[in-house]
Chains A and B, each alone.
Chain A
Amino acid sequence: MRAFSYSRAESVADALKGVVGHGETKVVAGGTNLLDLMKADVMRPTRLVDITRLPLNRIEETAEGGLRLGALVTNADTAHDERVRSRYPMLSRAILAGASAQLRNMATNGGNLLQRTRCYYFYDTGTPCNKREPGSGCGAIGGVNRIHAILGASEHCIATHPSDMCVALAALAAEIRVTGPRGERTIPFEAFHRLPGDAPQIDTNLAPDEIVTAIDLPARGFAAHSTYLKVRDRQSYAFALVSVAAALEIEDGKVTAARLALGGVAHKPWRDQAAEEALVGRPADAGSFAVAAEAVLRDARGFGHNDFKIDLARRAILRALQDAAASETP
């Protein structure tokens, strides 16, 4: 950790002023990810702007019939919110599958979106890592890569995005509301996180001078038939090896709408719309689900230790879709 200055923003405008033009400034919310990374000397901001006093801590109805989750609402309050639980049970489940109760009490929705990879090399400054130190190489390729990506990776980086919450948000087609010196804008969830390409140091399409203000959930919550399945190395308090957010609408045994997103497999929550479309009109059964799984994993590729994830992901997709089809309420 390096010396840094600290200030507390009292308004969004105040926060933006703090961020604008200061290359090494970071906003801090729950601090559960940023402070860890600073202690590990991975992130080295010279200024921290504390945004926890900003009025972004409410969950509100939207005009479209959805919910607006303030960026500073904690993960715990979001997961336990009655509206979220009844209308977006998959999201509630996903959040509760992550971290620990203590962490969820601190962690915010905005921070969760922007949490960084858990790649071992990223965390260890004694090793090469393109994400931490562009151009230094990727330690995980040819190294220890049990937890790494099987989809959308590049020769520069095979890291995964570690969030659970984001997988459900991807499946729900949420929108991210951001604000910055150029005004407010809305980013579709799929366009928020990036694939590593040749710039793995950049995780998202949020500009450095913008902040997240809220996450908008559309009206459609797939409450009747949805689930979040997290497969990991222990029963709790571990990141997903593979996770699946699966949501269906079913009429007369046929799928009328489907959502399918995976966590732990790529640099971003991995939603596959082609696979979703392939399910529509088919019977809600194992045969259809297997086809969807094959479609998602068509281009999957392992890097040695993580080869097993391809088969695991296939199994997890099948299981999650079956559970979703069977579930009435979570």
Chain B
Amino acid sequence: MIAKPAIPDVLREPGPGIGKPLSRVDGPLKVTGQARYAAEFNVPGLVHGYIVSSTITKGRITRIDTAAALRRPGVLHVFTHENRPHVAWFDRKWKDEDAPSGSPFRPLYDDRIVHAMQPVALVVAETFEAAREGARLVQVEYEAEPHETDLAARRHEAFTPGKEKGGFEPPPKPRGDPDRALAEAAVKVDVEYVQPTEHHNPMEMHGSTVVYNDDGTLTVHDKTQGAPNSHSWVCSVFGLSKSAVRVISPFVGGAFGSGLRPQHQLFMAVMAALQLKRSVRVELSRPQMFTFGHRPPTIQRVALGAAPDGTLQAMIHEAVQESSQFENYVEIVVNWSGQQYRCDNVRLDYKLARLDVFTPLDMRAPGAATGVPAIEMAMDELAHALRMDPVELRLRNYTDRDPNQDKPFSSKELRACFAQGAERFGWSRRNPQPRSMREGRQLIGWGVASGVWDAMQGQADARATLGIDGHLVVASATADIGTGTYTVMSQIAAGTLGLPIGNVTFKLGDSALPMAPIEGGSWTVSSVGSAVLAACERVRGRLYKLAAKMEGAPLGKAKPADMVLTDGHVALAADPARRVPIAEVMRSGGVLAIEEEARSVPYYVKRAQHTLATHSAVFAEVRVDEDLGTVQVSRIVSAVAAGRIINPKTAGSQVMGGVVMGIGMALEEETFMDHGLGRYMNHDLAEYHVPVNADIGSIDVIFVDEHDEVVNPLGAKGVGEIGIVGVPAAIANAVFHATGVRVRELPITLDKVLAGLSRRSAA
């Protein structure tokens, strides 16, 4: 009766923990203030650095005078491009795990200024206050050169990039004859969407505390999404041996992608510590959080042609996106459109325009959060033109194969997402007519959109150590940026070894631990979780062997294949009442601890034969004040298919957080650039708006059952990003349904709604 599974039995018989809505294991540390963040580690003799930011956007430094700063009591040293210590010369030495092609930015490298608020000096002082005041006293003279920061001005000089960055493939070749099919289509839309610059703005600002140890080695507390990434970058840039540096990052106060690349503060703090032979902390100010990467602004054209029955006949999706002068940051943007719908005539085109800004940086669902809203808004426009229900239109063009690659999906329960989401939302009661629902001066609208994100996996290592006391320590150098990594890894380990969750300690955020890739792309459960599973399975295998050899044969002639681990015991699968405590098994085998390390390697072959993705269907209700144009999102239902959900509570929180960020993207978030100065102007949290509690109505998350044996042994796809993808379009479509006004430029602020309402009433 007990099957010998081809996939691990944790999938079939969830052990204690797996699939359970466990609260965060690190929650108590966080809410009691015991969790310490990078800029909170104090050591005797710590000194503080403060970065001086350039006031011009492009040009060169002609003179830099540090005398006044150095006279300020407490100031120890001022680093500039003129006196900085030696650093690596080759570009490849400056590359990190997330670097696109090009020439990475090097702080204080020379006199060139290539973007606004570029770091031009570091003032180090005995106190933070002295450093900050010293920074004000550094006098810098510049020779400015003309700059361009306006994407619209450069869109026609854009170029087609190649494969510039891991995880992002250039668009597929066009299929059929999309221009002709569009011209001949009975019903069509051909529109342009514009999205603004956004910044990650995690709560915690980037900080690094570099402890200079007596033996000259460095212990670096860094805010990062990958301690190993910071570690290898520091070693490479400063020419240090791997053993001379250790990077620690146990807690991260949010990142959303901002910690995927080593940031200025890390370079500055390490440089100063090495030179001054002292422990140094550097933390960025909130305005400086706007100086190292952002979601790039994008202009997109989407043209769709359809037969009267809604069958898609033509799809053209062209995007122009911003990159810097020195790196080719890409997020392709358009590919998901061709993947999501069946259509014979398709052209997907993606271009980059070089502007005098810092290189953009992955921000939650990079590419998909930009491109999918465009296609999903266009699908809504098409549905309206067809007089067809927008869910029905999507199902009409549903595809079970990825048309871009002509491959099957490893699993795709998007249909179920639509069905369950629509049911929960009450979609069947929707009157298709815009402006058909109102309550007093509030116009009410319902919108829908789908979302998609890739189900990626990287190689990762994990080590599991089971002590005879029944305590299990599992370790991997991965990160927990607030996503729940500590919790779900503990669950996977506990589930695999049949231990109570309280017996498991998971360690992460330390470059000395077994290797793990940066935490991004929603691949941590897939990559690290699979390694944790593999390491724990090895421990389990050794326990079974010991149990089989036990004196007195308490489990009879049982072979490992006949055993299970439950509740701290090795038991007979067929008769779980026959069991022996793990401690006894280990004692009789004469071992005090069982330690195993394993590497998870993606199923490369199976994966190559499939397209792997998470999907969602998002339903939104908005209330628009007809007089004032303000939009409030009163309800969101997000139905997500992401394979196996290890922990519905932390996963639910991820999706909920994605929804909140999606509301921000739809209605609020935008970094204003003064193109004359080439500088972001609303670089603080008073004027860069993210949603506040009052902006959030009800958020209902549904996880649709999805079984996947291709993605990884856990069958889990990851949920960090899918939550945001469908939200902006669902809201934009709901705004149209409420008002009859299409706003094609995000965010949908009240001025744009009012302009549309005025145009409407004029017409």
Chain A residues with CB below 8 A from B54, complex form: 126
Q: What 0/1 readout, one digit per residue, does chain A (1-25) give for beta carbons within 8 Å of chain B? A: 1110000000000000000000000
Of the candidates A2, A144, A234, A315, which one forms a contact with B691 in the assembled complex, judged by CB atoms under 8 Å apart?
A234
Mark the stretch among B404-412, B498-506, B570-578, B747-755 that contacts chain A. Answer: B747-755
Contact across chains for B132 and A1 when beta carbons are under 8 A apart:
yes
Given A1-B133, A311-B758, verify A118-B687 contact (CB < 8 Å). yes
Judging by beta carbons under 8 Å apart, are B682 and A315 in contact? no
Type the 1/0 row for A189-200, where 1 means its CB is closer than 8 Å to any CB of B.
Answer: 000000000000
Is residue A254 within 8 Å, beta carbon to beta carbon, of the partner chain? no
Q: List A contacts of B53 (CB < 8 A).
A: 126
Decide yes or no whether A143 CB sits under 8 A from chain B. Answer: yes
Residues B668 and A124 in contact, CB atoms below 8 Å apart: no
Least CB distance, A321 to chain B, in whole angstroms? 12
Q: How large is the interface on A (under 10, 10 to 19, 20 to 34, 35 or more residues)?
A: 20 to 34
Whether B751 pairs with A308 at a CB distance below 8 angstroms is yes
CB pair B133 A233 closer than 8 Å: no
- A234–B687 CB distance below 8 A: no
**Distance in Å from the Cβ of B693 to the closest Cβ of chain A?**
7
**A143 cross-chain contacts in B, Cβ below 8 A:** 674, 676-677, 681
**Chain A residues positioned under 8 Å from B287 (CB to CB):** 124
CB distance from A119 to the nearest CB of B (A): 9
Instruction: Report whether A124 and B681 are in contact in the complex, using a CB–CB cutoff of 8 Å.
Output: yes
- Are B117's CB and A236's CB within 8 A? no
B755 adjacent to A308 (CB under 8 Å): yes
Asked whether, in the complex, the Cβ of A312 is within 8 Å of the Cβ of B751, the reply is yes
The reply to whether A233 and B683 contact each other, CB–CB distance below 8 Å, is: no
Given A143-B676, A234-B692: A124 and B628 interface contact (C-beta under 8 Å): no
Range of interface residues on B (Cβ < 8 Å): 35 or more
Please indicate the chain A residues that have their CB under 8 angstroms from the CB of B684 in the complex.
123
Instruction: Tell me if A's interface is mostly helix, strand, loop or mixed.
Output: loop
Residues 98-142 of chain A, each 1 if its beta carbon lies under 8 Å from chain B, else 0 = 000000000000000000001011011011000000000001001
Whether A1 and B693, one on each chain, are in contact in the complex, defined by CB atoms closer than 8 angstroms, is: no
Contact partner of B694 among A231, A233, A236, CB < 8 A? Answer: A236
- Per the 8 Å Cβ criterion, residues 624-647 of B in contact with A are 627-630, 632
Give the docked Cα–Cα distance between A319 and B136 (Å): 47
Query: What A residues does B668 contact at CB under 8 A?
Result: 233-234
Asked if B309 CB lies within 8 Å of chain A CBs, one says no
Which A residues are in CB contact (< 8 Å) with B673? 144
Q: Give the docked Cα–Cα distance between A118 and B693 (Å).
A: 22
A318 at the interface (CB under 8 A from B): yes
Task: State the CA gap A116–B373 with chains docked (Å).
Answer: 39
Q: Is B649 an interface residue (CB 8 A)?
A: no
In the assembled complex, B689 has its CB within 8 A of some CB on chain A: yes
Assembly CA distance A2 to B676 (angstroms): 30
A residues 118-174 with Cβ under 8 Å of B? 118, 120-121, 123-124, 126-127, 139, 142-144, 146-147
Q: A144-B674, A146-B672, A312-B754 are in contact. Are A235 and B692 (CB under 8 A)?
A: yes
Q: Does A316 contact B (CB under 8 A)?
A: yes
Of all chain B residues, which has the CB nearest A41? B136
Chain A hits for B132, CB < 8 A: 1, 39
Task: Indicate if the CB atoms of A120 and B758 lie closer than 8 Å.
Answer: no
Q: Closest chain B residue to A242 by CB distance?
A: B628
> A239: nearest residue on chain B (CB-CB)?
B686
> Distance (Å) between the CB of B521 and the closest chain A CB?
29
User: Which of A139, A143, A239, A241 is most buried by chain B, counting CB atoms within 10 A of its CB?
Assistant: A143
Would you list which residues of chain A between 63 and 85 have a CB under 8 Å from chain B?
Answer: none
Do B679 and A126 touch (CB < 8 A)? yes
Interface residue B65 (Cβ < 8 Å from any Cβ of A): no
B110 on interface, CB distance cutoff 8 Å: no
Cα–Cα, bound, A121→B684 (Å): 12
Are B687 and A316 in touch, CB under 8 angstroms?
no
Contact with B along A280-324 (1 / 0, CB 8 A): 000000000000000000000000000010011001101100000
Q: Is the CB of A237 within 8 A of B692?
A: yes
A124 CB, min distance to chain B CBs, angstroms:
7
Q: Given contacts A146-B672, A239-B686, are A2 and B758 in contact (CB under 8 A)?
A: no
Q: Is B129 an interface residue (CB 8 A)?
A: yes
Considering only residues 104-162 of chain B, those with a C-beta below 8 Å from chain A are 117, 129, 132-133, 136
Q: Write the nearest CB–CB distance from A256 to chain B, whole angstroms.
A: 26
B55 within 8 A of A: yes
How far in angstroms is the closest Cβ of chain B from A125? 8
Chain B residue contacts of A318, Cβ below 8 A: 627
Across the interface, do B689 and A238 meet the contact criterion of CB distance under 8 Å? yes
How far is it, in angstroms, between the C-alpha of A312 and the C-alpha of B627 when the chains are bound? 9
**B681 closest partner in A (C-beta):** A120
* Residue from B55, B682, B694, B695 in contact with A120 in the complex, judged by beta carbons closer than 8 Å: B682
CA distance A189 to B534 in the complex (A): 73
CB pair B751–A234 under 8 Å, yes or no, is no
B55 close to A126 (CB less than 8 A): yes
Q: A147: which B residues are within 8 A, CB to CB? A: 687
Contact B750 A233 (CB under 8 A): yes
The distance in angstroms between the C-alpha atoms of A231 and B667, with both chains bound, is 14
Residues of A within 8 A of B693 (CB): 236
Is A144 within 8 A of B681, CB to CB?
yes
Q: Are A316 and B628 in contact (CB under 8 A)?
A: yes
In chain B, residues 663-711, which have Cβ atoms closer than 8 Å to a Cβ of chain A?
667-668, 672-674, 676-677, 679, 681-684, 686-687, 689, 691-695
B686: which of A118, A144, A319 is its contact (CB, 8 Å)? A118
Q: Chain A residues with Cβ under 8 A from B687's Cβ?
A: 118, 120, 147
B692 touches A236 (CB 8 A): yes
Chain A's nearest CB lies how many Å from the CB of B98? Answer: 28
Enumerate chain B residues within 8 angstroms of A142, measured Cβ to Cβ: 676
Known A236-B694, A311-B754; contact A1-B628, beta-carbon cutoff 8 A: no
Give the distance in Å from the alpha carbon of A82 to the alpha carbon of B725 in the complex. 47
Q: B681: which A residues are within 8 A, CB to CB?
A: 120-121, 124, 127, 143-144
Nearest Cβ distance between residue A229 and chain B, in whole angstroms?
8
A 256-292 to B, binary, CB cutoff 8 A, 1 in contact else 0:
0000000000000000000000000000000000000
A51 to B676, CA, bound (A): 42
Give the residue name and chain of the B residue nearest to A307 (CB). Answer: B751
Known A3-B133, A126-B53, A144-B674; judge A233-B749 contact (CB<8 A).
yes
CA distance A238 to B692 in the complex (A): 10
Please report the C-alpha to C-alpha distance between residue A237 and residue B627 in the assembled complex, in whole angstroms: 21
How far does the Cβ of A153 sit from chain B's closest Cβ, in whole Å?
18
Complex: A177 Cα to B536 Cα, angstroms:
74
Contact with B along A223-260 (1 / 0, CB 8 A): 00000000101111111010000000000000000000
Q: Give the shortest distance, in Å, between B692 (CB) and chain A (any CB).
A: 5
Min distance, Cβ A203 to any Cβ of chain B, angstroms: 18
Residues of chain A lying within 8 A (CB to CB) of residue B55: 126-127
Asked if residues A234 and B627 are in contact (CB atoms below 8 Å), the reply is no
Q: Bound state CA distance, A1 and B679, in angstroms?
A: 22
The residue in A233, A236, A318 that gathers the most chain B C-beta atoms within 10 A of its C-beta is A233
Q: When chains A and B are docked, how far (Å) is the Cα of A287 from the Cα of B65?
A: 65
Centre residue among A121, A123, A144 by max chain B CB count within 10 A: A144
A3, B681: Cα distance in complex, Å = 27
- A121 nearest in chain B by CB position: B681
* Nearest chain A CB to B699 CB, angstrom units: 15
How far apart are A194's CB and chain B's nearest CB, in angstroms? Answer: 24
Q: Is the CB of A312 within 8 A of B695?
A: no
The answer to whether A2 touches B133, judged by C-beta atoms less than 8 angstroms apart, is: yes
Contact check, B754 vs A308: say whether CB atoms are below 8 A apart: yes
Residues of B within 8 A of A (CB): 53-55, 117, 129, 132-133, 136, 287, 441, 627-630, 632, 667-668, 672-674, 676-677, 679, 681-684, 686-687, 689, 691-695, 749-751, 754-755, 758
Query: What are the 3 A-B residue pairs with the smallest beta carbon separation, nearest first?
Result: A308-B751, A235-B694, A236-B694
Q: A residues bordering B, Cβ < 8 Å?
A: 1-3, 39, 41, 118, 120-121, 123-124, 126-127, 139, 142-144, 146-147, 231, 233-239, 241, 308, 311-312, 315-316, 318-319
7 contacts between A and B (CB under 8 A): A118-B686, A127-B677, A142-B676, A238-B686, A308-B750, A308-B751, A319-B628
Q: A143-B681, A316-B627 are in contact. List 4 more A-B contacts (CB 8 A).
A: A127-B55, A231-B750, A234-B692, A315-B627
